A = this chain, B = another copy of it.
Amino acid sequence: MAILNKFEQSNSAISVVDLVESLRQEMNKTTVYRILERLKNEGELHSFTGKDGRRWYAKNNGCDSNQQTHPHFQCKECGKVECLAFEVTIPHIPNYKIDSAKFLLIGQCEECLS
């Protein structure tokens, strides 16, 4: 479907805001939200929160166990978000049960630095 296409074409994460906007003529925003949630439940996508508290989605390329997670990077200048290609071990805390972790790095990307 149209939404998955968007993720095939770009390797970056895409914000829900952008998706709703760019699909405005094809489908309703409620539909976009619902499809994204479905794709997440089906394991095609994963979601996380950007530096401003808005939701982003990205393709699931295998990975993401209970022990490991990959960080995301957001450029504070252009706003772009990427999945970083390495895994981080989720720390263990005595007496707590950790299900998942969100690791967001904020800074400047290659293009914005030059």
A contact residues vs B (CB 8 Å cutoff): 49, 51, 53-55, 71, 73, 76, 84, 86, 88, 90-91, 93, 95-110, 113
Query: A24 to B93, alpha carbons, bound, how many Å?
Result: 36
Query: A98 to B110, alpha carbons, bound, how many Å?
Result: 11
A100 → chain B closest CB, angstroms: 5
A80 → chain B closest CB, angstroms: 11
Contact call B102/A106, Cβ cutoff below 8 A: yes
A111 → chain B closest CB, angstroms: 10
Contact call B102/A90, Cβ cutoff below 8 A: no
In the complex with contacts A55-B53, A93-B84, A101-B103 CB distance below 8 A: yes
